[in-house]
Structure 1
Amino acid sequence: MARLRTAILNVVGLSQRHLGEHTPNLQRLAERNAVAAVAPTLPAVTCSAQATYLTGELPSKHGIVANGWYDRELAEHLFWKQSNHLMQGPKLWDILRRDRPETTVAQLFWWFNMYADVNFAITPRPLYLADGGKHFDIHTTPLDLREMIKGDLGEFPFRQFWGPASGIESSLWIAKSAQWTEEKRSPDCSLVYLPHLDYCMMKLGPDHASILNELAAIDRVVGELIDFYESRGVQVVVLSEYGITPVSRPVHLNRLFRERGWLSIKDELGTETLDKGACRAFVIADHQCAHIYVPDASIISEVRTLLDNTPGVGEVLDAAGKARVGLDHPRSGDLVVFAEPDAWFTYYYWLDDARAPDFARTVDIHRKPGFDPVELFIDPAIVFPKLKLAGKLLRKKIGLRTLFDVIPLDASLVKGSHGHRPLDPLDWPLLIAPSNRLGGASITATDVHRCLVEVCQG
């Protein structure tokens, strides 16, 4: 009997309200399969959602409490780390191999990709040079795939993967890498990450007129993948991690904490950095979720009161609240807050933009103590941004060090976000799968794992 093979396409930001005339390929797939809205993992962010789909557990068990968190022993925040060892518990491929040890798996740009026990993997991984430079690159499993795939497809378009130039090019390259992997290795299960909608919906808002064109663009990419896989006898599943909803209110919790004297601020060459290990309380922000760490336990009631009375804060979770939603893990903050539907949390802690750290005006996903969607924008105050960027690129190419300080500090530019659970299920992520076991119009995020196992096993 021929082996059953499956491709799982993660179309970030896709929800049921997007199925229709602007997404004909996705619509056709939905019409001949089962479709369910997914009550999103909390927080509804990339790393937490993917970990729940892969393990069938909530963050309280798998440990991925957000895209980043504070390590109390290191006294450092850890954002967008890539080791699969951070995700605790058996993963999808472990379950599939219990009955069929020979099962092969490709993980293509899903997060926590490095050192996962999969057969083939491709993930973005810059090379950080000793002189402070950064060279864009990818990491692969096995390692020799890196030069092979770059030789066939060209360099991964890293600047289109995140930052002001983000666009369809990165999703196109990932889709081509999925086809390349299928042609070269024919894995039993392929996990493919297509991030395009994430960028435009956060930048412009999900209701912006141009989003219809972006939906059509990602639908073409998905349609080509569906046709390709099905022509090779591979069944296709489509899912997403969260839906993106409009926002208009950035909330600067760290600034409020600073005004109360709870932050420790260090002067570094005329700019300010957050000295987290010496703070009485501070915030690690991630979209519409924020983890509140309170090293000084004597002020936790005062911190809670401030949060309860802060406009834009929708819900404050203490120990009992974290347990209720599955966030009671040692990595979580002492308190966890979720924003009101039209609000989101920044990491900003400085009160004077002239004192902002140098990384604030750059694309720097690791150094910032929180997620920063403002990295999607070029500072509108720059008169000739293309000329300025060209000059900086030239300096870099001739070996001179330069800072790409072109990101604004205006959080009001951001028009879309995610992280909480939207009230309307049409804004929830979705699952399209060849299964009659989805259990109704909506399922939980942990149910997605069960469905993926069932679909892959047949």
Structure 2
Amino acid sequence: KVFWWYNMYSSADWSLTPRPMYPADGRKVFDIYTQPASIRTEIKRDLGEFPFPGFWGPAAGMTTPQGSADCVSCWIAESAKWVEQRQSPTLTTIYLPHLDYNLQRLGPNDPAIGADLNMIDEIVRDLVEFYEVRGVQPIILSEYGITETNRAIHLNRHFREQGWLTIKEELGLELLDAGASKVFAVADHQVAHLYVNDLALLNDVKALVASIDGVDSVLDGEAKTERGIAHERAGDLIAVSAEDSWFTYYYWQDDAKAPDFARTVDIHRKPGYDPVELFINPEITFPKLHIARRLLQKKLGFRMLMDVIPLDATLVKGSHGCRPTDRADWPMLLSAIDALPSGDALKSTDVHEVILRAVG
């Protein structure tokens, strides 16, 4: 598994994935995790350090002093070749994230996306030719298609207005107390899992969410089963947005009381996905100077927050999760293998069988 989710502790013989180090002094040190552990040192020696700032955050998909706009996907592609040349696995799964960035940052209809398509096309072409020379049959698979968005939906703020959300104040800032809340939402792009601790409110929650502009549907137990998503850890209800909308995790009503991590890249503390992490706050007059100051503080050993992320969800122009109306926005599978089923569409769960047939 080469940066393919979910990566750690799987049954794969060789794995590489981004994983920072978190020393006890509060620092975050960019790094990767590998299995076996020994290849971590070897691959960094041969390919150089993984350009972590380009993997996620404001620098992702952008040309920076750390590298070109496509530096992350290039590094991942080279690491896949590195593994193939030494181990020749029966099956290698590779995740190339480049299109995830500007399609969300700018939207799929922005003219600048053409350059991103050319970049990823070149990386994929090089990989396909590399594997075909070695007698390996490539399968090109996209996980989702991203559609244009113009509306952000703040479910937790709606729940707070109803008195269903519990907020804990710490040092003058607000934290969501999920366990003490009657209802809370975990947002993930155009899908949100709604956890209802007081089941007497289930129908009220469903009715409220269904009435919010931009919400396409609210799935209960039976509907979840029909969609094949009735997992034991799924929300009691699942909200799906319209394709021009998406869900935020925001729960504060005053930006001055937003938690300190809200203005940083922090995927672990935020109760939901935050694509606004792709942006630098436009209200910062001299962002490069601000970042340099923070990096100097870090270098000198001071505690600091890389507080450059805005709190403006309207900046996001692309998202995914719902089923788009236009089939051109659906994910796709491309291959010359004989294992592809007939027809022009297949279920996501059928991809597993296609891969098994290809491996033989």
TM over 0.5: yes
Task: Confirm whether residue 202 of structure 1 aligns to residue 88 of structure 2.
Answer: no
Query: Mapping of 1:278-427 within 5 angstroms?
Result: 278-427=180-329
Q: Name the stretch that deviates more: 163-172 or 427-436.
A: 427-436
Deviation of the 1:440 alpha carbon: 1.1
Deviation of the 1:183 alpha carbon: 1.2
Partner of residue 447 from structure 1, selected from 321, 326, 350: 350
Task: Confirm whether residue 235 of structure 1 aligns to residue 137 of structure 2.
Answer: yes
Deviations 1:254-286 (CA, angstroms, capped at 9, x unpaired) = 000000000000001010000001001111110
CA contact (8 A) 2:263 2:307 kept: yes
Aligned to 1:191, the other structure's residue is in SS state: coil
- Rounded to whole Å, the distance in 1 between the matches of 2:50 and 2:303 is 23
Task: Confirm whether residue 128 of structure 1 aligns to residue 22 of structure 2.
Answer: yes
Deviation of the 1:435 alpha carbon: 2.8
- Rounded to whole Å, the distance in 2 between the matches of 1:195 and 1:172 is 10
* Corresponding residue of 1:117: 11
Aligned to 2:138, the other structure's residue is in SS state: strand
CA contact (8 A) 2:105 2:278 kept: yes
Letter in 2 for 1:180: W
* Corresponding residue of 2:64: none
Letter in 1 for 2:33: H
- Rounded to whole Å, the distance in 2 between the matches of 1:127 and 1:133 is 8
- Rounded to whole Å, the distance in 1 between the matches of 2:40 and 2:337 is 35
Aligned to 2:95, the other structure's residue is in SS state: strand
Partner of residue 189 from structure 1, selected from 80, 87, 91: 91
Deviation of the 1:300 alpha carbon: 1.2
Letter in 1 for 2:37: L
Partner of residue 172 from structure 1, selected from 60, 74, 82: 74
- State TM-score, norm by structure 1: 0.76
* Corresponding residue of 2:166: 264
Deviations 1:280-339 (CA, angstroms, capped at 9, x unpaired) = 111111000000011011111111110121111100101001101011111011100100
- The CA RMSD measured in Å over matched residues stands at 0.8
Partner of residue 214 from structure 1, selected from 91, 116, 130: 116
Aligned to 2:270, the other structure's residue is in SS state: coil
Aligned to 2:168, the other structure's residue is in SS state: strand
Letter in 2 for 1:188: T
CA contact (8 A) 1:434 1:455 kept: no
Moved over 3 A (4+): none
CA contact (8 A) 2:241 2:247 kept: yes
Long gaps (5+) in structure 2: 62-69
* Corresponding residue of 1:154: 48
Fraction of identical pairs, as percent: 55
Deviation of the 1:398 alpha carbon: 2.4
- Rounded to whole Å, the distance in 2 between the matches of 1:371 and 1:288 is 10
Partner of residue 143 from structure 1, selected from 34, 37, 42: 37
Long gaps (5+) in structure 1: 1-106
Deviation of the 1:434 alpha carbon: 2.3
Letter in 2 for 1:247: T
Aligned length: 351
Deviations 1:397-449 (CA, angstroms, capped at 9, x unpaired) = 22222100000000000000000111111111110122343211111112211
Deviation of the 1:208 alpha carbon: 0.3
Letter in 2 for 1:328: A
